[in-house]
Amino acid sequence: MSVPVIAFFNNKGGIGKTTLVFHVAHMLSEQGFRVVAADMDPQGNLSAAFLTEQRLEDLWPEDTSVATIYGAVEPIKSGTGDIGDPLLERINDNLVLIPGDMELSSFEDDLSQTWPKCQDRDPRAFRVISAFWRVLQKGAANHQANVVLIDVGPNLGAINRAALISADHVVMPLGPDLFSIQGLRNLGPRLRTWREGWQERAPKNPIAGLSLPKGSMSPLGYIVMQHSERRKYPVMSYRKWIARIPSAYREYVVDAPEMAKQVVESDNECLARLKHYRSLMPMAQEAGKPIFSLKSADGALGSQVVAVRDAYQDFKTLALKIVSRAGIARRDR
């Protein structure tokens, strides 16, 4: 039985998606879930959030191969074998990271060229397209994980297509702005195209015993990111964009335009509205920990202590809602 995979995806960058994955992964681990966080963005931002610069230097040497996400699929790319076991970088007892790698971008051409070859029942094509999912499942089995969270880059290329095919569920972080609304018009239809394309190809797999992902990519909901608040309400400049999100999400992502007249506050597709935590975020980045774990020794003083407590409750509510909607429960090791 495979371990559920949840992707956090938006084809617009700069909205805090990687930071969101970092915080949700930490919170789920704190709530007793065994989590694999996988960095599938060639830019490696999630790895940089979790690890020190010195550790990243060790993981990305110039002359040798390390079992990052790229190192685990490199034997397929080079034609020397099948996938390997990924490195599981221990963050805490419940949380491990499969580190990213800038070399992952060199896998793009293989993923692009083999996608149409699946229609011809080409054996290597199925090994290549399913490589990410099989690496994630190996890592999850080795960690005895309850869930895998993946961070992907903000684009609609072949790497992200293979990454999203690996996902059972998709969470969409959205900024309260025109660009996120416009992005949904591309993102929703593209996910449906990828899902339908994989469902058409998967039955043509000619390799007996080769496990393949379902590629369901079920939309789990959206999160409104980084809006400023005044008296607990989003400031006026963001309100009009927030008001447009429910209808755009329902029309373009869940393909239910007849149910489009919703408001964020009562929209069950909205997982959370996360406000901008202002000075806490750079403080947390400096400390190398989530904002809800900041202490006075990290510089969280006065009103910031209250903000840390608020952030803890916000992320706990969000993280538990995500796994609940995905039907994921803690299980004994």
Give the 3-state secondary structure of 84-141.
Answer: CCCCCEECCCCEEEECCCHHHHHHHHHHHHHHHHHHHCCHHHHHHHCHHHHHHHHHHH
Of 221, 169, 220, 218, give the one whose Cα is nearest residue 5.
169
Domain segments of the chain: what residues?
5-325
Whether residue 22 is predicted with pLDDT greater than 90 in this model: the reply is: yes
Picking from 174-183, 229-238, 302-311, which range would have the lowest pLDDT averaged per residue?
A: 229-238
**Which pLDDT belongs to residue 31?**
96
**Which pLDDT belongs to residue 124?**
97
**Which pLDDT belongs to residue 65?**
72
Over residues 156-174, mean pLDDT: 96
Q: Which residue has the higher pLDDT, 165 or 229?
A: 165
**Which pLDDT belongs to residue 228?**
54
Of 4, 41, 42, 144, give the one whose Cα is nearest residue 88.
144
**Which pLDDT belongs to residue 14?**
76
Token look-up 């993981």 returns: 59
**Which pLDDT belongs to residue 282?**
85
Whether residue 333 is predicted with pLDDT greater than 70 in this model: the reply is: no
User: What sign does the dihedral 113-119-123-128 (CA atoms) show?
Assistant: positive
Whether residue 229 is predicted with pLDDT greater than 60 in this model: the reply is: no
Q: Which residue has the higher pLDDT, 180 or 165?
A: 165
Whether residue 29 is predicted with pLDDT greater than 60 in this model: the reply is: yes
Over residues 59-81, mean pLDDT: 87
Confidence of residue 119 (pLDDT cuts 50, 70, 90): very high
Residues written for the chain: 333
DSSP state of 202: G
The first and second tokens of residue 262, run together, are 């919703």
Picking from 18-32, 35-49, 319-333, which range would have the lowest pLDDT averaged per residue?
A: 319-333
**Which pLDDT belongs to residue 234?**
59
Picking from 76-90, 126-140, 271-285, which range would have the lowest pLDDT averaged per residue?
A: 271-285
Confidence of residue 45 (pLDDT cuts 50, 70, 90): very high
Over residues 202-223, mean pLDDT: 96
Cα separation, 29 vs 145, whole angstroms:
10
Per DSSP, helices labelled H in 227-302 are 236-252, 280-287
Give all strands (DSSP E) within 157-295, no chain letters. Answer: 169-174, 218-227, 229-230, 233-234, 270-275
Q: Which 3 state secondary structure label does DSSP give 5?
A: strand
**Which pLDDT belongs to residue 329?**
86
Over residues 223-248, mean pLDDT: 74
**Which pLDDT belongs to residue 321?**
97
CA 314 centroid distance within chain: 19
Picking from 28-37, 110-119, 267-276, which range would have the lowest pLDDT averaged per residue?
A: 267-276
Picking from 80-84, 278-282, 297-301, 318-322, which range would have the lowest pLDDT averaged per residue?
A: 278-282
Decide: 92 and 22 in contact? Cβ < 8 Å.
no
Q: Which is the CATH superfamily of the domain at 5-325?
A: P-loop containing nucleotide triphosphate hydrolases (3.40.50.300)
**Which pLDDT belongs to residue 7?**
98
1 burial type by CB count under 10 A (0-12 exposed, 13-18 middle, 19+ buried): exposed
The first and second tokens of residue 327, run together, are 């039907």
Cα separation, 222 vs 224, whole angstroms:
7
Whether residue 257 is predicted with pLDDT greater than 80 in this model: the reply is: no
Confidence of residue 158 (pLDDT cuts 50, 70, 90): very high
Token look-up 């990052």 returns: 68
pTM: 0.93
